[in-house]
Structure 1
């Protein structure tokens, strides 16, 4: 799951991403990217995350844990 979520972040950010890389600030700099990531998470994993959840879990690894808990 971690690899899949990390690939999703990389797709949205259009660059390489590491699982433990703190990326919310980069997403937050452009709110469209936050919404895009939320859409990707919903489409790929069938989970509906909030902006607050991304803020509280700012790495792909942390988001993967949320996704696993939600499925």
Structure 2
């Protein structure tokens, strides 16, 4: 089952904007290390990490976790 939409949250980070952009755009699989309470993992389905058109699947908690 696939869902398409927009999910937003606020997460305080201790990094420069440049460093965050690098991690989010080139190494999104590291996001689960940054905020494990919100994002449990990111899987690459097509393409290569950091390349335009890559298809990724985000595993995250929406709302309160159990």
TM-score, length of structure 1 as denominator length? 0.28
TM-score, length of structure 2 as denominator length? 0.30
Higher RCO structure (Cα 8 Å, ≥6 apart): 1
**Structure with more helix by fraction:** 1
Larger Rg: 2
